[in-house]
Amino acid sequence: MLYTPGMSISEELFERACRVIPGGVNSPVRAFRRLERAPFFVKRAEGAHLTDEDDKQYIDYVGTWGPAILGHAPECVISAVQAAVPHGLGYGIPTRVEVDMAETVCRWIPSIEKVRMTNSGTEATMSAVRLARGYTGRRYIIKFAGCYHGHVDSLLVAAGSGALTHGEPDSAGVPAEFANLTIVLPYNDRAAVERAFASHPGEIAGIIVEPFPGNAGFYLPRPGYLEFLREITEKNGALLIFDEVMTGFRISAAGVQGKLGITPDLTTLGKIIGGGLPVGAFGGRREIMDCVSPLGAVYQAGTLSGNPVAMAAGLAQLNYLEQHDSYTRLEQLGARLEEGVRRILRDEQLPLTFIRDGSMFCLHFTTQEVYDLDTAMSGNFDMFRRYFHAMLEQGVYVAPSPYETGFISTAHTEADIDATLAAMQRALRLAK
């Protein structure tokens, strides 16, 4: 991309970025590559709105990909960061706020008796899988196609051609030997899980799953499916790992597990507990977590883990959520959006698939029921692309991919939702 007169500031910045950053971005989905346009560059964000470098404002439903449950720059988080910064940015030594955060996590999520902080969700899932193998003494991990658990080598794998297969690397640089220790199965398929355990008796360390998958669009488990995963892991001496990096503290105060009353052995967290700063965590039953160094033989470490500024930001966000009946508010806004979307789909005679739970949602550009990766991938990408451009033109920012989840924050207003619905109706007409 070469600079030409009349370029927007965002386009000029992207052209500069492409010279010094791979693809011009520091995370692939930000590139808008399949959408055939440059990404916009954000100048500032407040509440439910973003303002780009060209001073255009957008209603935001990406929410930093999940952390911004109170919206951008909430006063409680900004104040906590401002109070923490003068004391230093990090020490590499324990702090009081780390203990406060750990106690809060354990209080909110009953399945977590001990928790270890990390710097990202990827670190959390990597550590949880290592811990599952170390605790059980077994090699294999089951994951599900469409569930993303960060860019960990052994989890960055795609399903093969069959319902029961060892993983194949989904990225250059991932040795096949790593991927071969991961068994990739279709989500919502009980029989595939049963066959996996039957084929590897006494060898499966655990199952890692996004209980509500949010990285292939957003879809939900069939009734009883997560309970089935709990039962079959217990029966076979394997661990059940809930990856709630996205759903933790969002679907409910205790995540999906709290909403459905299911108790995993380990849980990974991130996003919301950082208040917008880089944080992750993994935790679970005491006897499992005590296998982590320095108590046990499973090594895990991080120079910036438990960073005091990040802990202060995340703790402020959690405290606000607890004190302000935030989940009732999020459900009200989500229900308003869902009611409006379903009305539009009826009025426009578009048999598309809309899925929502709480403040997470996705409009799938397919007429099929969506319950796994294959059905999520059946959508009409060209229709989505036209829809995305029309929404952006009207000042509404949805994820730049049909395979991502939308997020509502407590900073959204009824007026924001109604403006979004009006833009959506116009966008869908143009996208037909």
Residues recorded for the chain: 432
Question: Over pLDDT 70: what percentage of the chain?
Answer: 95
Model confidence over 241-264: pLDDT tens digits? 999 999 999 999 999 999 999 999
Is-catalytic flag, 225? no
Q: Work out the average pLDDT over 137-149.
A: 94
* Rounded Cα distance, 29 and 239, in Å: 32
Residue 281: closest CA among 243, 234, 308:
243
Residue 361 CB coordination number (10 Å): 21
DSSP-assigned letter for residue 384: H
The topology under which CATH files domain 75-323 is Aspartate Aminotransferase; domain 2 (3.40.640)
Q: Where are the domains of the chain?
A: 40-73+325-431, 75-323
* 177: confidence class by pLDDT, cuts 50, 70, 90: confident
Q: Give yes or no: 243 in active site.
A: yes
Backbone angles phi, psi at 15, to 5 degrees: -60, -40
Catalytic (active site) residue 148:
yes
Q: What secondary structure does DSSP assign to 319-376, as a single string? A: HHHHHTTHHHHHHHHHHHHHHHHHHHHHHTT---EEEEETTEEEEESSSS---SHHHH
The backbone torsions φ and ψ at residue 211, rounded to the nearest 5 degrees and listed phi first, read -60, -35
Task: Spot the catalytic one: 148, 187, 387, 403.
Answer: 148
Of 3.90.1150.10, 3.40.50.460, 3.40.47.10, 3.30.450.20, which CATH number belongs to 40-73+325-431?
3.90.1150.10
Is residue 10 over pLDDT 60? Answer: yes
Using the predicted structure, report yes or no on whether residue 301 has a pLDDT greater than 60. Answer: yes
| Identified catalytic residue from 52, 60, 189, 243 | 243
Out of 58, 60, 271, 371, which one is annotated catalytic? Answer: 271
- Per-residue pLDDT at 165 exceeds 80: no
User: What is the pLDDT of the chain when averaged over all its residues?
Assistant: 94
Rounded Cα distance between 199 and 48, Å, is 49
Express each pLDDT in 33-54 by its tens digit: 889 899 999 999 999 999 999 9
Give the pLDDT score at 5.
Answer: 57
